[in-house]
Amino acid sequence: MSFILYENPLRKEKIEIELPVRCLVEMDKIRDEAGIPGYLDCTDFQMKKLIAILWSSKHLADVDRAIYEKRAGQSMPVAVFGGAGFRLHCPSLNDRHSPFHRHVKDIDLLILKKDAHDWVEILCHLRDTLGNMHFHTTTHSDKRFNLLRRGDRYRLTTLCELSEDGTPEPGILELFSEKLCFCHEFILTDEVQKAKDNFFTIGLENLILLKTQFIKKVRKSELTPEHEYRILQEYDKNSVLIGMEDKDMRDVAAAIFDHELGVGNDFLNIDQLGTKLLRDWGTWKTCAMNLENMRRNLESVVNKYGASQVHRETIDNRLASMLEFLNSKYRPKKPALSFGHKQWWEDVEEQVR
């Protein structure tokens, strides 16, 4: 019995997956083998897929012998960002009873550009080693998408979830090569190479920056009730600026609650955060505005999650310290050409997930 995961009648292209969908390994076992934090939820479908990918980066010979031999046994670094990256850092996001817990729909990965083709091959072979739960392929549409991005971004077709009756739901996985260009640009080559030391992510500080770098101009006539807590400021008489979405505030809130301010993997390093922002006034401006808005609306926002007074007070105190540092010690000089209403960000349709 099989399920049609993808079909393009015009190209006579059809991709089927055998049912039932299977996983051939114990996820908690390979999670521990890979050195992934034990609090990562092994029962969550996307986290199972993530564990398999991170495990494969250190066990290339078990997945694709040809890739392993071509690389002379060298592993392939990979860094997670977006909602899945926060899951790797934050115990509270893995606790289904936590007010911060939310469903992560997909996985976004950052890789070295030179490893991109090898990563596509590894992902497409995962199903043979670990079971078809870890199915990945590139359709004709994916291949065209990848070709047009000239090595900066890759898309693969995969599974995003299983319904209650075991029917797979199609989804995508995206690979980004070293650089992330959203409202602001981030070059993260070093972070990919050091990902193993940061719970296989781009680092907690970068995760927060990528969430808080979102900004968008919206006409006042287009505002809806769900924009209420996202309004950063008025832009002109017809428009306002909105910031990060509810799900992003939830991830950032969890990160701030779970980590005291300090130095080390178990801490949120304000100096590291500020040093990164000091390089670019526009990025600093957007991130500071989002954090200020989050603090301004904190009680209303976290109440929606069912957060306690302890949650609110802890997050508020740490946000206050972060903003004090960012507005004093780490406030970059505003460029002369940026005065007035000159837009300091790039327009994008999507925020990192």
Cβ neighbours around 30 below 10 Å, total: 20
Could you report the per-residue pLDDT of 156-198, keeping only the tens digit for each?
A: 999 999 999 999 999 999 999 999 999 999 999 999 999 999 9
Average pLDDT over every residue of 299-317: 93
Cβ neighbours around 157 below 10 Å, total: 18
Residue spans of the domains in the chain: they are 2-189, 203-338
* pLDDT value for 264: 83
Looking at the chain, the whole-number percentage of residues with pLDDT higher than 90 is 91
Average pLDDT over every residue of 206-224: 97
Least trusted range by pLDDT, from 141-155, 260-274, 328-342: 328-342
Average pLDDT over every residue of 140-151: 96
Could you report the per-residue pLDDT of 18-37, keeping only the tens digit for each?
A: 999 999 999 999 999 999 99
* pLDDT value for 74: 87
Give the residue, 351 or 303, on which the prediction is more confident: 303
Alpha carbon 169 to chain centroid, angstroms: 20
- Name the average pLDDT for the chain: 94
* pTM for the predicted model, two decimal places: 0.95
* pLDDT value for 121: 97
Average pLDDT over every residue of 207-227: 96
φ, ψ at 196 (rounded to 5°): -60, -30
* pLDDT value for 337: 62
* Model confidence at 348: pLDDT above 90: no
With cut-offs at 50, 70 and 90, classify the pLDDT of residue 284: very high
* pLDDT value for 335: 85
